[in-house]
Chains A and B, each alone.
Chain A
Amino acid sequence: KNEVEQSPQNLTAQEGEFITINCSYSVGISALHWLQQHPGGGIVSLFMLSSGKKKHGRLIATINIQEKHSSLHITASHPRDSAVYICAGSSYNTDKLIFGTGTRLQVFP
Chain B
Amino acid sequence: KAGVTQTPRYLIKTRGQQVTLSCSPISGHRSVSWYQQTPGQGLQFLFEYFSETQRNKGNFPGRFSGRQFSNSRSEMNVSTLELGDSALYLCASSAGLAGGYNEQFFGPGTRLTVL
Q: Which residues of A contact B (CB under 8 A)?
A: 29-31, 33, 35, 41-45, 48, 50, 86, 88, 90-99, 101-102
Given A41-B108, A42-B108, also A94-B42 (CB < 8 A): no
Assess the A96–B109 pair: CB atoms within 8 A. no
Q: Which residues of B contact A (CB under 8 A)?
A: 31, 33, 35, 37, 42-45, 48, 50, 55-56, 58, 88, 90, 92, 94, 96, 99-106, 108-109, 111
A91 to B45, CA, bound (A): 12
A33 to B58, CA, bound (A): 19
A-B contact count (CB 8 A): 74
A90 to B33, CA, bound (A): 12
Assess the A96–B56 pair: CB atoms within 8 A. yes
CB distance from B72 to the nearest CB of A (A): 13
Q: Which residues of A contact B43 (CB under 8 A)?
A: 86, 88, 97, 99
Of A29, A45, A92, A93, which one neighbours B103 at CB under 8 angstroms? A45
Assess the A98–B45 pair: CB atoms within 8 A. yes
Assess the A94–B55 pair: CB atoms within 8 A. yes
Q: Which residues of A contact B109 (CB under 8 A)?
A: 41-42
